[in-house]
A and B are shown apart, each in its own frame.
Chain A
Amino acid sequence: MPTAQDKQEQWTRFFPRAQNILKRGPRALRKLSGSELTSLIDDYQALTADLARARSLGAPRATVDQLNRSAVAGHNLLYGSIRRPAVFLESDWFGSFARAVRRHLGAVTLSATMLFAPAVATFFAVQFYPSLGYDLVAEGFFNFDPASAENLHNIPSLARPIVSSSIITNNIQVTLLAFGFGLTAGLGTTVLLVFNGVHLGSVAGWMMLHGKEKALWGWIMPHGATELLAICLAGAAGYLLAAAIVLPGQLRRSTALKRAGGDALIIELGCMVMLVIAGLIEGFVSPSSIAYSTRIAVLAASLALWAAYFAGSGHRRRKSTGPSAEAERTQKRTQSIL
Chain B
Amino acid sequence: MEDAVFISTPDNVTLEFELAGLGSRFCAYLIDGVLIGVLIVAVVVAMFFMPSGLYFFRAALKARSTWLASWNFALLIFFVFLITWGYYVLFEGLRRGSTPGKRKMGIRVVRDDGLPIGFREAALRNLVRAADMLPPPASLLGGVVMLFDPKGRRLGDMLAGTLVVVEKFAAPSDSAAAAAWAARVEQGRSRQALTLPQGVISANQIGLIEQYMARRYTLPPVRSATLAWQITEPLLPLLGEDREALVNRPDRAGYCERLLLQILEMAEGKPPKPGPAPKQRAQAALF
**Chain A residues in contact with chain B, CB under 8 A?**
1-8, 11-12, 15, 48-55, 57-66, 68-72, 75-76, 79-80, 83, 86-88, 157-162, 164-166, 168-169, 172-173, 176-177, 179-184, 188, 241, 253-254, 257-258, 260-262, 265, 268-269
- A51-B13, A66-B172, A241-B159 known; A7-B180 Cβ under 8 A: yes
**Chain B residues in contact with chain A, CB under 8 A?**
9-11, 13-17, 65-67, 70-71, 73-75, 77-78, 80-81, 85, 114-116, 118-120, 123-124, 127-132, 134, 141, 153, 155-156, 158-161, 168, 172-173, 175-176, 178-187, 190-191, 207-208, 210-211, 214-215
Chain A residue nearest in CB terms to B179: A8
Interface contact A87-B120, CB-CB below 8 Å = yes
- A63-B178, A184-B141 known; A265-B124 Cβ under 8 A: yes
Question: Given the complex of chains A and B, what is the CA–CA distance between A162 and B69 in angstroms?
Answer: 10
Return chain A residues, CB-CB under 8 Å to B65: 158-159
Interface contact A188-B134, CB-CB below 8 Å = yes
Task: With both chains docked as a complex, state the minimum distance between the C-beta of A258 and any C-beta of chain B, in angstroms.
Answer: 4
Interface contact A158-B66, CB-CB below 8 Å = yes
Question: Given the complex of chains A and B, what is the CA–CA distance between A15 and B168 in angstroms?
Answer: 12
Beyond the given pairs A4-B182, A165-B74, 6 more chain A to chain B contacts, judged by CB atoms under 8 angstroms and listed by A's residue number, are: A80-B115, A86-B120, A160-B70, A183-B156, A261-B161, A269-B123
Interface contact A161-B183, CB-CB below 8 Å = no
Question: Given the complex of chains A and B, what is the CA–CA distance between A71 and B8 in angstroms?
Answer: 12
Return chain B residues, CB-CB under 8 Å to A181: 130-131
Chain A residue nearest in CB terms to B214: A60
- A83-B118, A86-B120 known; A1-B187 Cβ under 8 A: yes
Task: With both chains docked as a complex, state the minimum distance between the C-beta of A142 and any C-beta of chain B, in angstroms.
Answer: 28
Top 10 A-B pairs, shortest CB-CB distance: A8-B179, A161-B74, A165-B74, A180-B128, A4-B180, A183-B131, A169-B81, A180-B130, A63-B178, A7-B179
Interface contact B127-A75, CB-CB below 8 Å = no
A selection of 24 A-B contacts at a CB cut-off of 8 Å is: A3-B183, A4-B180, A4-B182, A8-B180, A48-B13, A53-B182, A58-B207, A60-B178, A63-B175, A63-B178, A72-B15, A76-B116, A158-B65, A161-B71, A162-B70, A162-B77, A165-B74, A180-B127, A180-B128, A182-B131, A188-B131, A258-B160, A261-B159, A265-B124
A interface: dominant SS: helix
Return chain A residues, CB-CB under 8 Å to B185: 53-54, 57
Return chain A residues, CB-CB under 8 Å to B74: 161-162, 164-166
Interface contact B70-A57, CB-CB below 8 Å = no
Interface contact B130-A177, CB-CB below 8 Å = yes
Question: Given the complex of chains A and B, what is the CA–CA distance between A63 and B181 in angstroms?
Answer: 10
Interface contact A52-B176, CB-CB below 8 Å = no
Task: With both chains docked as a complex, state the minimum distance between the C-beta of B134 and any C-beta of chain A, in angstroms.
Answer: 7
Return chain A residues, CB-CB under 8 Å to B66: 158
Out of B156, B168, B183, B211, which one reaches A6, CB within 8 Å?
A: B183
Question: Given the complex of chains A and B, what is the CA–CA distance between A72 and B210 in angstroms?
Answer: 26
Out of B16, B73, B155, B210, which one reaches A183, CB within 8 Å?
A: B155
Chain A residue nearest in CB terms to B75: A165
Interface contact B191-A80, CB-CB below 8 Å = no
Chain B residue nearest in CB terms to A241: B159
Return chain B residues, CB-CB under 8 Å to A1: 183, 186-187
Chain A residue nearest in CB terms to B121: A261
Interface contact B175-A66, CB-CB below 8 Å = yes
Interface contact B85-A80, CB-CB below 8 Å = no
Interface contact A50-B186, CB-CB below 8 Å = yes
Out of B10, B116, B176, B190, which one reaches A4, CB within 8 Å?
A: B176
Return chain B residues, CB-CB under 8 Å to A159: 65, 70
Return chain A residues, CB-CB under 8 Å to B17: 72
Question: Given the complex of chains A and B, what is the CA–CA distance between A261 and B134 in angstroms?
Answer: 20
- A1-B186, A8-B175, A60-B215 known; A180-B123 Cβ under 8 A: no
Task: With both chains docked as a complex, state the minimum distance between the C-beta of B190 and any C-beta of chain A, in angstroms.
Answer: 7
Chain A residue nearest in CB terms to B188: A1
Task: With both chains docked as a complex, state the minimum distance between the C-beta of B18 and any C-beta of chain A, in angstroms.
Answer: 9
Task: With both chains docked as a complex, state the minimum distance between the C-beta of A88 and any C-beta of chain B, in angstroms.
Answer: 6
Question: Given the complex of chains A and B, what is the CA–CA distance between A244 and B183 in angstroms?
Answer: 50
Task: With both chains docked as a complex, state the minimum distance between the C-beta of A156 and any C-beta of chain B, in angstroms.
Answer: 8
Return chain B residues, CB-CB under 8 Å to A51: 13-14
Chain B residue nearest in CB terms to A269: B123
Question: Given the complex of chains A and B, what is the CA–CA distance between A58 and B180 in angstroms?
Answer: 15
Interface contact A261-B124, CB-CB below 8 Å = yes
Interface contact A180-B178, CB-CB below 8 Å = no
Question: Given the complex of chains A and B, what is the CA–CA distance between A87 and B160 in angstroms?
Answer: 12
Interface contact B116-A80, CB-CB below 8 Å = yes
Task: With both chains docked as a complex, state the minimum distance between the C-beta of B13 and any C-beta of chain A, in angstroms.
Answer: 4
Task: With both chains docked as a complex, state the minimum distance between the C-beta of A188 and any C-beta of chain B, in angstroms.
Answer: 7
Return chain B residues, CB-CB under 8 Å to A2: 183, 186
